[in-house]
């Protein structure tokens, strides 16, 4: 049980700590990040009335409205992620650490060398990580809600994001529309 906890924590830390160092993410990165979120329970129809269709790679085509919606959602999600990264950086600083120091502590704690840290350092590290996990859960919920309010399931949004990131015609059309 402890090993699965360490693995989960290590994966989460690697994701959040690396995100804290990046100032911005592209739509391609947002599509990859969207893959990490779970599906919402509620399904709804995708808006597509009176929208010009762009030919897709497979049988699914994305409409102008879908391209616009995904672009807007990706911008909003990127902003939300940046806010969480800023909050994490501030929280780490508030606890008397720089990001490189926190990253080093994370490597020690998840790599089986926690004994190299004092009890106080371990306590602070655990408190930061609990707060980071809470922030991640809150972010995931907010993303799901934003996507749902646009009229899509999270699975549809992930698929649309993936298709846009892989299809130059979609990227070009989305840029024209935005």
Q: Is residue 52 part of a domain?
A: no
Q: Is residue 42 part of a domain?
A: no
Q: What is the mean pLDDT of the chain?
A: 76
The pLDDT value recorded for residue 163 is: 94
Q: Model pTM greater than 0.75?
A: no
The pLDDT-based confidence of 148 (bands split at 50, 70, 90) is very high
Residue 15 has pLDDT above 60, yes or no: no
The pLDDT-based confidence of 111 (bands split at 50, 70, 90) is confident
Q: Is residue 86 part of a domain?
A: yes
Angle, alpha carbons 70-152-137 (nearest 5°): 85
3-state secondary structure at position 53: strand
What range does the domain containing 83 cover? 2-16+63-177
Mean pLDDT of 39-57: 37
Q: Is residue 30 part of a domain?
A: no
Q: Is residue 118 part of a domain?
A: yes
Mean pLDDT of 103-107: 91
Q: Is residue 74 part of a domain?
A: yes
From CA 128, how far away is CA 125, in angstroms rounded? 5
Number of domains in the chain: 1
From CA 112, how far away is CA 101, in angstroms rounded? 17
Q: Is residue 148 part of a domain?
A: yes
Q: Is residue 131 part of a domain?
A: yes
Residue 47 has pLDDT above 70, yes or no: no
């Amino acid at each position: 049980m402890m090993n699965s906890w360490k693995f989960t924590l290590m994966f989460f830390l690697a994701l959040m700590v690396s995100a804290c160092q990046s100032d911005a993410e592209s739509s391609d990165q947002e599509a990859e990040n969207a893959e990490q979120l779970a599906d919402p329970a509620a399904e709804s129809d995708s808006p597509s009335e009176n929208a010009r269709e762009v030919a897709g790679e497979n049988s699914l085509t994305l409409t102008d409205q879908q391209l616009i919606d995904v672009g807007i959602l990706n911008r909003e999600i990127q902003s939300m992620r940046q806010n969480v990264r800023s909050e994490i950086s501030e929280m780490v600083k508030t606890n008397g650490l720089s990001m490189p120091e926190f990253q080093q502590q994370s490597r020690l704690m998840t790599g089986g060398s926690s004994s190299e840290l004092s009890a106080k350092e371990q306590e602070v590290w655990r408190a930061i990580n609990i707060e980071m996990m809470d922030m991640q859960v809150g972010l995931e919920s907010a993303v799901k809600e934003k996507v749902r309010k646009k009229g899509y399931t999270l699975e549809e949004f992930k698929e649309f994001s993936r298709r846009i990131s892989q299809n130059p015609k979609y990227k070009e059309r989305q840029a024209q529309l935005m």
